[in-house]
Copies of this chain bind each other. A is one copy, B any other.
Amino acid sequence: MSGLSKKQESLIKSLYTRHGRKKHNLCICEGLRCCYEVLNLNPQLVEIAVCSEDFDLSTLPAVASEINFIRVPQEKMKSFSSTVASQGVLVVAAKPEFSKSDDAPADPYIFVLDRVMDPGNFGTILRTAKSVGLTELWFTAGSVDAFNDKVIRSAMGAQFGMTLREFSDLDVLAEELRRFGYNRIFRTTPHEGESCFTAPDLFEKTAIIIGNEANGAAELDGSLSLTIPMPGNYESINAAQAATVILFEYVRRSEGGA
């Protein structure tokens, strides 16, 4: 029980910035549910584990007993946390090594985010993609940092159990899709294109792109338009909601829902 060193303390603080995460190749997972998932999915990535004096380690997976949790006063804990109510536990984790770019993806279709900027949207989409059984998420530079603490929290640590692939832009990403045989590429658009509920073979060696919150997905030669019917005639739905509709349409079709 040596307490947290000054060096560890400033390392943790630096990981709340993009610069710090890049420099150290580490990130912060905060809160019970998020730490739970990281320990569950990939405990060997944990570099530093910190909890408040009264935190009950038995609420975490059993592997927690093999990790040296440094206990600190609650006030200290709160000084780190970006959430208003710190939940008394955080871990510093190495970013997972992604599969080599030559590994072919195993997923039937590839879900793609093009410059999704909101941490809550990006994280929620990751969590939801994992919940439907996808193993990968592809995205373009210009998206929010996938290892931002808010993204990790919204994703409940799904980052630690999925393969993420980042590309400089949609053209480069599309080239890679086609190399792996994902030839039909759909861009979601608000009011035109095929309905996601009736488009045939929507999830068979395809890719589906959700675009930036304000501007949608970038133009892409040879891509098809996909739309989510919206009878309320309302402006549009949130990017994470659009992603959810499409991800679960895949589940529905797989389950043979009528």
Chain A residues with a Cβ under 8 A of chain B = 33, 37, 120, 124, 127-128, 130-134, 156, 158, 195, 197-198, 228-238, 240-241, 244-245, 248-249, 251-252, 254-255, 257-258
CA distance A120 to B235 in the complex (A): 18
How far in angstroms is the closest Cβ of chain B from A234? 4
7 closest A-B pairs (Cβ-Cβ)?
A197-B257, A133-B232, A133-B231, A131-B234, A197-B252, A131-B232, A245-B248
Q: Nearest CB to that of A245 among chain B residues? A: B248
CA distance A232 to B230 in the complex (A): 27
Q: Nearest CB to that of A252 among chain B residues? A: B197
How far in angstroms is the closest Cβ of chain B from A250? 9
Q: Which residues of B contact A128 (CB under 8 A)?
A: 237-238, 241
CA distance A21 to B61 in the complex (A): 43
Query: A230 and B132: CB pair below 8 A?
Result: yes
Q: With a 10 A CB-CB cut-off, give which of A132, A158, A254 has the most chain B CB atoms.
A: A132
Q: Which residues of B contact A130 (CB under 8 A)?
A: 232, 234
CA distance A139 to B219 in the complex (A): 41
| A-B residue pairs in contact (CB < 8 Å), sample of 24 | A127-B234, A127-B237, A127-B238, A127-B241, A128-B238, A128-B241, A130-B232, A130-B234, A131-B230, A131-B232, A131-B234, A158-B234, A195-B257, A197-B251, A197-B255, A197-B257, A228-B248, A229-B255, A230-B251, A237-B244, A245-B245, A245-B248, A248-B248, A252-B252
CA distance A156 to B236 in the complex (A): 10
Task: Tell me whether A255 and B124 are in contact in the complex, defined as CB-CB below 8 angstroms, given that A131-B236, A131-B237, A245-B245 are known contacts.
Answer: no
Q: With a 10 A CB-CB cut-off, give which of A198, A232, A240, A258 has the most chain B CB atoms.
A: A232
Q: Which residues of B contact A124 (CB under 8 A)?
A: 238, 240-241
